[in-house]
Structure 1
Amino acid sequence: MNLPQLLFSFEGRVGRKQFWIWNLCYYFGLALIGGLLAQISPGLAMFAIPIVLVILLIPDLAITAKRWHDREKSAWMLLLNIPLVVGRAMMPAGSQAMVAETSAAPVISIVALACGAWILIECGFLKGTEGKNRYGEPYA
């Protein structure tokens, strides 16, 4: 699988190693970009980080979908990310005021935590299907 297929295709499979490499690079890169931009201008960082996240959305979803495929599960499992996104959207940078005012916040937080733990355990720690499955051969 070449790099464009890895980053932009929702077909095929990737193992835990590729999943972890992607996520480590993803979060390290975001922290580095955010830190550098915050040194230049905090306002610039708050504007640029969401743009970077949008740019990286498709590669992130594609790699995670392929990891679900390696576990012989549908890419529809990506829907587990929705509570995480909703939870983050409820928390403005550096402020929990909006969350405190929302009565659904504790429920959303618990659901987001459960979904995040499920994604982490399944994609990050559990082995993929041995040999070929309905999504193809294991990533070599």
Structure 2
Amino acid sequence: MDLQYIFTSLDGRINRAKWWAGVVILGIISIVLGVLIEVIFGTGFFGGLLATLVSLALFFPSYAVCAKRFQDRDKPGKMALYGLVPSLIASLLTAWGLTGTPDQLNGLGWICVLVNLGVGLWFLIELGILKGTPGSNQYGGDPLAALT
């Protein structure tokens, strides 16, 4: 599996297995870095700044993975931005403590939870469960054809 292609290129198509692998890798990186930042620096200004930098650093690889999967479904890769941008904004608001505490969310916190839940369900169904377009499409050849 070519991880550089999966995380840095917006061209072509990937199948569900590669999308899942990319999502799991990005999720593990995000969780590990998030826990390290919170344990070492806390949730103050510097911890929030580092959490912001991690979110921004992981945005493009997330976009690349999701864009290629949308393209496998014969949809423009830019559709991934419809979900990733609101999720990025929600994570930044949370990193800066504007959504309340984990125990007591404010109104903005609940909106962020609902946005992330909606995007997560949409991406789970659209990218993680539904099959890609069989055969070639405008974004390239069928990624499963190379496996058979």
TM category (shorter chain) comes to: 0.7 to 0.9
Going from structure 1 to structure 2, the CA distance change for 1:73 and 1:50 (only over 3 Å counts) comes to same
The code of the aligned residue for 1:97 comes to: G
Match of 1:100 among 96, 101, 106: 106
**Aligned match of 2:4:** 4
CA contact (8 A) 2:72 2:139 kept: yes
The two structures have a TM-score, normalised by structure 1, of: 0.76
CA contact (8 A) 2:69 2:127 kept: yes
Offset, 1:92: 4.7
Tell me, in whole angstroms, the C-alpha distance in 2 between the residues paired with 1:64 and 1:93. Answer: 26
Gaps of 5+ in 1: none
Going from structure 1 to structure 2, the CA distance change for 1:39 and 1:100 (only over 3 Å counts) comes to closer
Q: Does 1:134 align with 2:144?
A: no
The two structures have a TM-score, normalised by structure 2, of: 0.73
1:1-140 → structure 2 map (5 Å cutoff): 2-42=2-42, 45-78=47-80, 79-92=82-95, 96-97=99-100, 100=106, 110=114, 112-139=116-143, 140=146
CA contact (8 A) 2:135 2:142 kept: yes
Point out which structure has higher relative CO (alpha carbons under 8 A, 6+ apart). 1
Going from structure 1 to structure 2, the CA distance change for 1:75 and 1:91 (only over 3 Å counts) comes to same
Indicate the percent of aligned positions where both proteins have the same amino acid: 30
